[in-house]
């Protein structure tokens, strides 16, 4: 029976309490143990399960659901049926003081502040001025193209769904530069936003220092965002190993579950951290290697035929960024064109006169049909006479 079948508020509230009580019994917890596990007050727990007390708050239901490893969504549906939609929002884990909660609601983040690459600029439409404005008053950097799902997205979705059901999980996306790792993580966490999940991106004063200082303060329903995870795991003076140990402790802590740790790594870093050490030398990454075991998801460099077909469908439906990228990309490297072009343009615009002269020579050579591998002597001579 779904939550929509409970039209009577009293019946919906009774069903909510029955499910919470069934979860308590299944885990063999008494109310005192449940109080400790949910990090709630004894009176709060007693009233939440009492047949005569007012309905609990959404924050209380969320804390109990996490402690009992119950799916939060149907419980919130029952609560809404019992008290009205105003009881639904959860603005972070109630088990922690507001001042100690890490991160902010997922919906409050701009993906570019989480290092999702700005997408390629567009050529202007005739009569529409610059292609850098979509007419909304925001520049092109505020606009992302439609997201094309690939096989790794399904693996990541399974992990996110497990977190939504109350189980702490971690995944690190591994791939070459500009292959869509960070964007995939951003799209994956969107279903958690409506359930009140927060996202914490440790970066100040340095990424490693911020993570080590505050990982112990991460509460339930938090995404820990470790983009470019080499800044954390590869930190000097043993910081990387300590961060890995702290993440392991977070993931196995039943009081703070569920949490979701998401990271990205270039292939060379993943290889470095997971390689077995020479037994004759000191092992530099034992904690990191243990943490990453079974938690890596590899992204392909290129879009396969199915993904390219999906991009073409979005382009045909009006996505001009994808249409532009499909027209100019090479060998299925759609993500690289979308994300890499703005970076390359930025490097060109800020290059020194000598560096720009070298770039002009390389560009001219490519236009004239010269191959990708240009001899250094050729570049030096051509730049000196240009």
The answer to whether residue 247 is domain-embedded is yes
Residues 140 and 82 in one domain: no
- Beta partners for residue 171, in sequence order: 262
Residues 35 and 75 in one domain: yes
Within the chain, where are the H helices? 9-27, 31-38, 42-49, 58-68, 72-83, 151-164, 181-188, 190-193, 207-214, 230-233, 239-251, 267-274, 286-292, 305-316, 320-328, 334-349, 353-367, 376-385
Tokens for 143, please give them. 């606009």
Residues 57 and 117 in one domain: no
The answer to whether residue 344 is domain-embedded is no
Q: Which phi and psi (to 5°) does residue 337 adopt?
A: -70, -45
Residue 259, pLDDT score: 95
CA 297 to chain centre: 13
The answer to whether residue 317 is domain-embedded is no
Residue 323, pLDDT score: 80
The answer to whether residue 306 is domain-embedded is no
Residue whose pair of structure tokens reads 């994956």 in the numeric block? 188
Local confidence pLDDT in tens for the 386 residues of the chain: 554 567 789 999 999 999 999 999 999 999 999 988 887 888 999 999 999 999 998 878 888 988 898 888 788 889 888 886 544 444 344 344 444 568 999 999 999 999 997 775 655 555 554 444 444 333 334 478 889 999 999 999 999 999 998 899 999 999 988 788 999 999 999 999 988 899 999 999 999 999 999 998 898 899 999 999 999 999 999 999 999 999 999 999 887 889 999 999 999 999 999 999 888 889 999 999 999 999 999 998 888 888 889 888 988 999 888 887 777 666 666 666 666 555 555 566 676 877 777 777 777 776 777 766 677 777 777 666 65
Residue 233, pLDDT score: 98
Residue 124, pLDDT score: 56
Residues 83 and 117 in one domain: no
The answer to whether residue 366 is domain-embedded is no
Residue 123, pLDDT score: 55
**Domain containing 67: what range?**
3-87
CATH of the domain at 45: 1.10.260.40
Give me the half-sphere count of Cα atoms (radius 13 Å) on the Cβ side of residue 69: 10
Residues 165 and 284 in one domain: yes
Tell me how far apart the alpha carbons of residues 225 and 203 are, in angstroms, rounded to a whole number.
Answer: 10
Residues 272 and 154 in one domain: yes
CATH of the domain at 193: 3.40.50.300
Residues 152 and 197 in one domain: yes
Looking at the structure of the chain, the number of domains it has is 2
Do 72 and 194 touch, CB atoms closer than 8 A?
Answer: no
Residues 128 and 49 in one domain: no
**H/E element, 70:** none
The answer to whether residue 386 is domain-embedded is no
Residues 40 and 184 in one domain: no
- Of 298, 319, 336, at which residue does a domain stop? 298
Residue whose pair of structure tokens reads 């951290």 in the numeric block? 273
Residues 145 and 230 in one domain: yes
Residue 92, pLDDT score: 40
3-class secondary-structure state, position 223: strand
Single pTM value for the model: 0.64
The burial class, CB within 10 Å (0-12 / 13-18 / 19+), for 252 is exposed
Computed on alpha carbons and rounded to an integer, the radius of gyration of the chain in Å comes to: 25
Residue 105, pLDDT score: 93
The answer to whether residue 286 is domain-embedded is yes
The answer to whether residue 251 is domain-embedded is yes
Residues 69 and 209 in one domain: no
- Of 35, 55, 87, at which residue does a domain stop? 87
The burial class, CB within 10 Å (0-12 / 13-18 / 19+), for 376 is exposed
Residues 139 and 229 in one domain: yes
User: What residues contact residue 262 under an 8 Å CB cut-off, 6+ apart?
Assistant: 170, 171, 172, 173, 185, 188, 189, 223, 224, 225, 226
Give me the half-sphere count of Cα atoms (radius 13 Å) on the Cβ side of residue 281: 6
- Of 233, 264, 298, at which residue does a domain stop? 298
């Amino acid at each position: 029976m779904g939550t929509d079948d409970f039209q009577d508020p009293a019946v919906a509230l009774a069903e909510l309490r029955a499910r919470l009580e069934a979860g308590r019994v299944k885990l063999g917890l008494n109310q005192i143990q449940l109080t400790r596990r949910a990090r709630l007050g004894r009176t709060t727990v007693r009233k939440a399960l009492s047949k005569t007390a007012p309905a609990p708050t959404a924050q209380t239901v969320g804390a109990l659901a996490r402690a009992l490893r119950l799916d939060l969504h149907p419980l919130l549906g029952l609560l809404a049926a019992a008290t009205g939609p105003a009881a639904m929002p959860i603005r972070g884990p109630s088990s922690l003081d507001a001042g100690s909660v890490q991160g902010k609601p997922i919906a409050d983040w701009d993906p570019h502040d989480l290092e999702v690459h700005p997408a390629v600029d567009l050529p202007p439409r005739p009569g529409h001025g610059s292609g850098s404005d979509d007419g909304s008053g925001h520049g092109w950097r505020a606009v992302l193209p439609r997201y094309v799902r690939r096989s790794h997205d399904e693996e990541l979705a399974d992990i996110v769904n497990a977190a939504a059901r109350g189980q702490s999980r971690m995944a690190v996306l591994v791939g070459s530069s500009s292959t869509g790792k960070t964007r995939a993580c951003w799209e994956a966490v969107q279903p958690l936003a409506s359930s009140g999940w927060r996202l914490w991106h440790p970066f100040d004063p340095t990424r490693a220092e911020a993570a080590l200082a505050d990982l112990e303060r991460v509460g339930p329903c938090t995404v820990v965002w470790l983009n470019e995870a080499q800044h954390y795991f590869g930190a000097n003076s043993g910081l990387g190993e300590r961060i890995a140990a702290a993440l392991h402790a977070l993931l196995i802590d039943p009081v703070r579950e569920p949490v979701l740790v998401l990271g990205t790594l270039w292939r060379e870093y993943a290889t470095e951290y997971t390689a077995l050490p020479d037994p004759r030398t000191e092992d530099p990454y034992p904690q990191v290697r243990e943490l990453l075991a079974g938690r890596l998801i590899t992204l392909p460099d290129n879009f396969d035929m199915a993904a390219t077909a999906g991009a073409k469908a979005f382009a045909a439906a009006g996505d001009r960024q994808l249409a532009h990228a499909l027209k100019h990309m090479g060998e299925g490297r759609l993500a690289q064109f979308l994300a890499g072009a703005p970076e390359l343009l930025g490097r060109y615009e800020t290059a020194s006169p000598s560096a720009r002269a070298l770039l002009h020579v390389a560009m001219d050579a490519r236009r004239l049909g010269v191959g990708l591998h240009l001899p250094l002597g050729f570049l030096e001579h051509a730049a000196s006479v240009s």
